Amino acid sequence: MDMKLEVVVVPVTDVDRAKDFYTALGWRLDADVATGEDFRVVQMTPPGSPASVIFGTSVSSQTPGSAQGLHLIVDDIGAAHDELKKRGVQVVELSADEKLAFKRVTEPVFSKWSATIGAELVKKAEAAIDKRA
């Protein structure tokens, strides 16, 4: 029996701004349905992904911006980085000191995450990040 995750709700403040953002990333618009001023749902899917995100008006009671733990997985982080920049996404390049500070602050999350996904995948991710440095 297959079980597949197909939709993740992302709470947003401005539906049109969120739609424009994901469209600029090259995500496919699957649906934009409104049944009145008090309900609208937008579904968008990243290229190559079997799962989509939905957001809208009266779609979720969660606080906008509160989604956590979502991971967009790519085969080539360098190519993804370059593609996002090409599409107009503001990509912040951290200095060595900023990277160290970020690493310290996120260490608890990293420890939990690395234990969950395994050492081999962590090493691959670290190697890809080091390659970008």
Using one digit for the tens of pLDDT, what is the confidence trace for 23-70? 999 999 999 999 999 999 999 999 999 999 999 999 999 999 899 888
pLDDT of residue 57: 96
pLDDT of residue 44: 97
Helix/strand/coil (H/E/C) assignment for every residue in the chain:
CCCCCCEEECCCCCHHHHHHHHHHCCCEEEEEEEEECCEEEEEEECCCCCCEEEEEECCCCCCCCCCCCCCCCCCCHHHHHHHHHHCCCCCCCCCHHHHHHHHHHHHHHHHHHHHHHCHHHHHHHHHHHHHHC
Q: Is the pTM of this model over 0.75?
A: no
pLDDT-derived band of residue 109, with 50, 70 and 90 as boundaries?
A: confident
- Mean pLDDT over each residue of the chain, to the nearest integer: 89
| Residue 130 scores a pLDDT above 80 | no
The predicted-structure confidence for 7-19, as pLDDT tens digits, reads as follows 999 999 999 999 9
Domains of the chain: 1-74 (3.10.180.10), 92-133 (no CATH)
